[in-house]
Every structure is written in structure tokens, then in C-alpha cells.
């Protein structure tokens, strides 16, 4: 048997599956694609997460597009977080050209241009269906972690969340929580401290500054109502293919805190909303996070621990998470260890540090008699990658240097007219187009303070005049007495609110608050 025949047998046996699979391309031997040595990924293991890594310009984003469009074609809904703005072309069919035809002839897979049904989503003022969440739905623990608070400050946040729950004060947006902070240190200080402990004004000041920092990154567009429902991510077109939801994030590349805030809450709510699924024939949903280093670069230790917990647990709900980044070590090792599929594009060895990283990366892949992995990592070309996944039994597949297929969809962005057309055909855009600003903590506390002031002024007017013969002067009530009196004023109006959802933290018992099933991504 020749070396090539041995190689074909090695690949075909290692990538032979009983169920459905994605086809990525053909394996390379001595730098050339070998027709018949097809590299496949079984749908059954796509909930075991994955990584797409490689230096700038090596084709990571195109690989992400290839995998995502093939998942959708197999009936798997997909969510893409598009920070660079170059994934929207997946909505339109690609165009064949001599290079694409040559590539597909070499790998032995026919090329058929095809677009994908797309839903454009937005966190900011960009065009698309709006994504929102309320402060209450974060819960005190996750909200504190996002603000990077210490234990004392986090304890104050937990106490104020409890106070809001006990007093029917809906915390919908950041304005509500800022008003609650103000109330707890001014008019309502005695009322809060009586049942929930002393509130440090210095710590409250720190929390307020952290919230202002989050607001500066555009969080006011994200916090509020109407909250996005998770089932709107799990949709299919009229042909039974999965809908690809693309979150347009090009205007928050320099706002990592807002991005990580959104990403973590979204994953937490998906976990809380999806029932346990076990091992399915294919995932319910796959999520791709491009430029993943932006999440981990600014994340605190507590936030990283939370991300790791979600990644470990969410696959049991039939959800796969895929990170796309330049260096595999942009992803923390504890998270990296959870990723079953690895697609590694070329790395650059410009420095001693780079060479050490390449050596370390090579050690993450199965040993192969056909490749010198460390050398290959710097030599593979654009549109080629080292691939290893899991077979249907969860065993790593052989390492395959792969000549990747071309995307069936457009490699490029949508123009403004095409974007408008996609949004116009959206069945859910109108559902979330208008922001709601119902009565919440801000309005209730403002009314409470104003009514207390009005009653105080009325009491002063109604007070009887002092007797002329008296030699003693009636003492003014102390500030504490006034404050105590004010806080005893009955809350005006009855506000009917739904029970607060606490996302993942409530479900896992990692934070305060109870979880009530409400069938929503954020609500």
C-alpha cells in the first residue's frame, strides 16, 4: 500500500460517521489536497463547542462562514456575533469564479452558490431587530460581576435588589438602579438600613461611577424593554433550514464591557430557558463569537469563572458555542479544554514568544505520522487549516490539514439596500421595534419622595401657632425624625409587575433571587 493509500484509509476511517455530518473539505498530504479524503464533522457532536483560530488574513472569518452556513443548511439555527461587519454576506448567494472551481475540483466536492435566511439584530442604533434586557433579569451577582465590584459593593447591590423585590420596584433600566442608589443614601436611607443593613455612601459612590462607565459604552440602549425572547433565535425557514441570526456589533468593538455584558447575559438566559436535551442528533442552536479575545481581555476573574461555568453546562441544553480569535491562548485554558472542534489556521513566528506559542499549540493536537504539526502551523496557506473534532462516540478524530471548501454564500457585506430588504422581510422586527418605558423604580421612588415632601409641607402649614405666654420654644424635628417620617409615607399607586428573573445565576443557586420560567431570552 502506498503512502497516499494509507493516508486516504487513515482519513476515511477516522471521519466515517453513521449520522449526518458537515463537510469541510479534503485533507492535505505533502501540501496537496487528496480527493476522497473528505474531512467531516458529525452533527451529533456540534454541541461540544469549538474554536477557530489563526493569524490575521489566514481565513478565519471565511471558515466561520463555511461552518455556519452548512449548519443552517442541515436545519440548525445559528447565532453570529459580527464585530467586524463582514458576515452579513451569508444572506446572499456566492458567485463562482475560476479559483473557486479549481478549489472544489481539487477537493472533489461540487460548488453550488446559495444564500441563507438571515435575521439582523442590533444592540445599538444600527439597523436591525433590537435586543434588550432589564437590570432585574441580570440579578445582583451577575450585575455586580459585570460592574467588577468587590464583595462589600456587591453586598450593597444584593441588598438593594432585595429591597426592590420586597417593595415592588421594577428595575428595568440603569436609570432605575441609579435612582435606587440615590434613594438608599438620601431620603430612604433609614428605611433601607432598618431592614437591610448599613449602606456605605462611599461604596454607593463607587457603584454609581461603575454604572456611569457602563453607560458611556452605550448600555442605555441595551437595558430596558421589550426584552428579547429566546425562541426567536430558534427558527426555521419555509424549507426547514435554520435561520442565521446576525448581531451587528461593529460600533461596539471599542466597548468590550458592553459586549461581554450582553454575551454573558444572553448565554445565561439561553441556559435558563432551554430544557435539558442530553445528546441530540444535532444541536438546537449554535452560537459563534467572532473576535472572542474582546470578551476575555477585559473580563474579571469572577466573570471568567462564570463564562467557564456556562460553557461547561450549556451543551446539555443542546447548544454549541464557537469562539473565533487570532491565537488559541486568547481563550482561557479552562474554557479551551471544553472545546471539542478545533480549526487552526496558520500562525506567525516573528518573535521568540510566537515560537513558544506555536510549540505549545502543536501539543494540543493528536500526534500524526503524516504531519509535523509544529512546522505545519507556520506553512499552511490561506483557506487551509488543521482540523480535529470528535467522532460520534466523543473520541478525537485524526488530525487533518484541510483544504477548505469555499462558502456557498457571498464573501462580503450587504449594502444598505440589501440590509433594508432583509429587515423588511423580518417576521419579528416589528415586535421589538419600539422601546417600552413603563412605570418602574425611577417613577415610583420619585413619586414617593414628592408625596413625602408635599405632606411635610402640608403638616408645617397646618401646625398650630405657638402660645405667646410660653417661655419655651418648640424644637424643630431632627433630620433623622423628618427622614423617618418621610419614609413612612405610603407608596402611591399600585404597580403590577412580573416576578423578577435572575438568569443563570438564580437557576444554579449562585446568586440571590428566584427564577420564574417566562419563555424569553431576556424576559
Question: What tens digit of pLDDT does each residue of 240-251 get?
Answer: 999 999 998 877
DSSP string, 484-523: HHHHTSPPPS----PPPP-HHHHHHTSSSS-----S-S--
Q: Give the SS3 label for residue 118.
A: strand
User: When comparing pLDDT for 106 and 353, which is higher?
Assistant: 106
Mean pLDDT score across all residues of the chain: 83
The pTM for the full model equals 0.82
Residue 53: what pLDDT?
94
Tell me the residue ranges of DSSP E strands in 134-251: 244-248
Strands 341-344 and 319-325: unpaired
CA–CA gap between residue 191 and residue 485 (Å, rounded): 10
Longest dimension (CA), the chain: 123
Q: State yes or no: pLDDT of 497 exceeds 50.
A: no
CA–CA gap between residue 289 and residue 495 (Å, rounded): 39
Q: State yes or no: pLDDT of 194 exceeds 80.
A: yes
In the sheet that holds 32-42, the strands lie side by side as 32-42, 21-29, 400-404, 384-388, 341-344, 50-53, 319-325, 285-289, 78-82, 244-248, 118-122, 129-130
CA–CA gap between residue 17 and residue 70 (Å, rounded): 17
Phi and psi (nearest 5°) for 444? -65, -45
- Which pLDDT band holds residue 431 (cuts at 50, 70, 90)? confident
Residue 513: what pLDDT?
36
**Which range, 164-173, 262-271, 372-381, 400-409, is most confident?**
400-409
List where CATH 3.40.50.300 sits in the chain: 3-131+225-427
Q: State yes or no: pLDDT of 494 exceeds 70.
A: no
Q: Give the SS3 label for residue 437.
A: coil
Out of 3.30.465.10, 3.30.1490.20, 3.40.190.150, 3.40.50.300, select the CATH number for domain 3-131+225-427: 3.40.50.300
Q: State yes or no: pLDDT of 58 exceeds 80.
A: yes
Burial 379-414 (b: 16+ CB within 10 A, else e): ebeebbbbbbbbbbeeeebbbbbbbbbbbbbbbebb
DSSP string, 41-80: EEGGGGGG-EEEE--TTSSHHHHHHHHHHHHHHTT--EEE
| Residue 73: count of CB within 10 angstroms of its CB | 16
Assess contact for 506 and 154: CB atoms under 8 A.
no
Residue 463: what pLDDT?
58
User: When comparing pLDDT for 442 and 107, which is higher?
Assistant: 107
Residue 219: what pLDDT?
80
Q: State yes or no: pLDDT of 491 exceeds 50.
A: no
Phi and psi (nearest 5°) for 53? -135, 160
Assess contact for 116 and 434: CB atoms under 8 A.
no
Cell of 432: 421589538
- Which pLDDT band holds residue 253 (cuts at 50, 70, 90)? low
Cell of 522: 431576556
| Residue 126: count of CB within 10 angstroms of its CB | 18
pLDDT average, residue stretch 32-45: 94
Tell how far CA 346 is from the center of its chain.
27
Tens digit of each residue's pLDDT (9 = 90 or more) over 69-102? 999 999 999 999 988 888 999 999 999 999 999 9
Report the Cα–Cα distance between both ends of the chain, in Å, rounded.
61
Tell me the residue ranges of DSSP E strands in 202-330: 244-248, 285-289, 319-325
Q: State yes or no: pLDDT of 39 exceeds 90.
A: yes
Residue 124: what pLDDT?
77
CA dist list (Å): 505 to 159, 220, 293: 16, 23, 24
Tens digit of each residue's pLDDT (9 = 90 or more) over 116-164? 999 999 887 788 888 888 898 888 988 888 888 888 999 999 999 999 9
CA–CA gap between residue 521 and residue 479 (Å, rounded): 46
Residue 310: what pLDDT?
86
- Which pLDDT band holds residue 511 (cuts at 50, 70, 90)? very low
Amino acid at each position: 500500500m502506498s503512502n497516499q493509500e494509507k493516508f486516504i484509509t487513515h482519513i476515511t476511517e477516522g471521519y466515517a460517521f453513521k449520522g449526518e455530518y458537515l463537510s469541510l473539505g479534503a485533507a492535505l498530504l505533502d501540501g496537496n489536497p487528496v480527493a476522497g479524503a473528505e474531512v467531516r464533522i458529525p452533527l451529533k457532536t456540534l454541541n461540544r463547542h469549538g474554536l477557530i483560530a489563526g493569524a490575521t488574513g489566514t481565513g478565519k472569518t471565511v471558515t466561520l462562514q463555511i461552518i455556519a452556513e452548512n449548519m443552517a443548511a442541515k436545519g440548525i439555527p445559528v447565532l453570529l456575533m459580527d464585530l467586524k461587519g463582514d458576515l452579513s454576506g451569508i444572506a446572499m448567494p456566492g458567485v463562482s469564479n475560476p479559483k473557486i472551481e479549481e478549489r472544489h475540483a481539487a477537493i472533489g466536492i461540487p460548488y453550488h452558490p446559495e444564500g441563507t435566511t438571515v435575521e439582523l439584530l442590533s444592540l445599538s442604533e444600527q439597523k436591525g431587530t433590537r435586543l434588550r434586557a432589564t437590570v432585574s433579569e441580570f440579578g445582583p451577582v451577575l450585575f455586580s460581576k459585570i460592574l467588577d465590584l468587590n464583595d462589600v459593593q456587591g453586598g450593597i447591590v444584593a441588598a438593594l435588589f432585595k429591597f426592590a423585590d420586597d417593595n415592588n420596584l421594577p428595575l428595568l433600566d440603569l436609570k432605575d438602579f441609579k435612582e435606587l442608589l440615590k434613594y438608599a443614601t438620601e431620603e430612604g436611607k433609614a428605611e433601607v438600613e432598618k431592614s437591610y443593613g448599613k449602606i456605605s455612601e462611599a461604596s454607593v459612590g463607587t457603584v454609581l461611577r461603575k454604572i456611569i462607565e457602563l453607560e458611556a459604552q452605550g448600555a442605555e440602549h441595551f437595558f430596558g424593554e421589550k426584552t428579547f425572547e429566546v425562541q426567536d433565535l430558534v427558527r426555521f425557514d419555509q424549507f426547514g433550514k435554520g435561520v442565521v441570526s446576525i448581531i451587528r456589533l461593529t460600533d461596539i468593538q471599542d466597548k468590550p464591557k458592553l459586549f461581554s455584558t450582553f454575551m454573558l447575559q444572553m448565554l445565561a438566559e439561553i441556559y435558563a430557558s432551554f430544557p435539558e436535551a442530553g445528546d441530540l442528533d444535532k444541536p438546537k442552536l449554535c452560537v459563534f463569537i467572532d473576535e472572542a479575545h474582546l470578551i476575555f481581555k477585559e473580563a474579571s476573574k469572577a466573570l471568567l469563572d462564570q463564562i467557564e461555568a456556562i460553557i461547561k453546562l450549556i451543551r446539555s441544553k443542546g447548544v454549541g458555542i464557537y469562539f473565533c480569535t487570532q491565537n488559541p491562548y486568547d481563550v482561557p485554558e479552562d474554557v479551551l479544554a471544553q472545546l471539542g472542534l478545533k480549526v487552526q489556521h496558520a500562525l506567525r513566528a516573528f518573535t521568540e514568544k510566537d515560537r513558544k506559542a506555536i510549540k505549545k499549540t502543536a501539543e494540543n493536537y493528536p500526534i500524526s505520522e503524516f504531519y509535523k504539526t509544529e512546522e505545519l502551523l507556520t506553512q499552511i496557506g490561506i483557506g487551509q487549516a488543521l482540523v480535529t473534532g470528535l467522532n460520534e462516540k466523543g473520541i478525537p478524530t485524526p488530525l487533518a490539514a484541510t483544504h477548505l471548501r469555499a462558502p456557498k454564500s457571498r464573501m462580503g457585506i450587504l449594502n444598505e439596500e440589501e440590509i433594508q430588504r432583509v429587515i423588511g422581510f423580518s417576521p419579528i422586527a416589528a415586535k421589538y421595534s419600539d422601546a417600552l418605558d413603563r412605570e418602574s423604580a425611577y417613577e415610583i421612588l420619585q413619586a414617593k419622595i414628592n408625596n413625602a415632601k408635599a405632606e411635610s409641607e402640608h403638616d408645617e402649614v397646618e401646625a398650630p401657632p405657638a402660645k405667646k405666654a410660653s417661655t419655651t420654644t418648640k424644637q424643630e424635628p431632627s433630620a433623622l425624625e423628618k427622614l423617618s417620617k418621610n419614609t413612612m409615607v405610603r407608596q402611591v399607586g399600585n404597580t403590577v409587575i412580573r416576578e423578577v428573573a435572575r438568569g443563570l445565576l438564580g437557576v444554579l443557586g449562585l446568586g440571590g433571587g428566584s427564577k420564574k420560567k417566562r419563555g424569553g431570552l431576556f424576559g
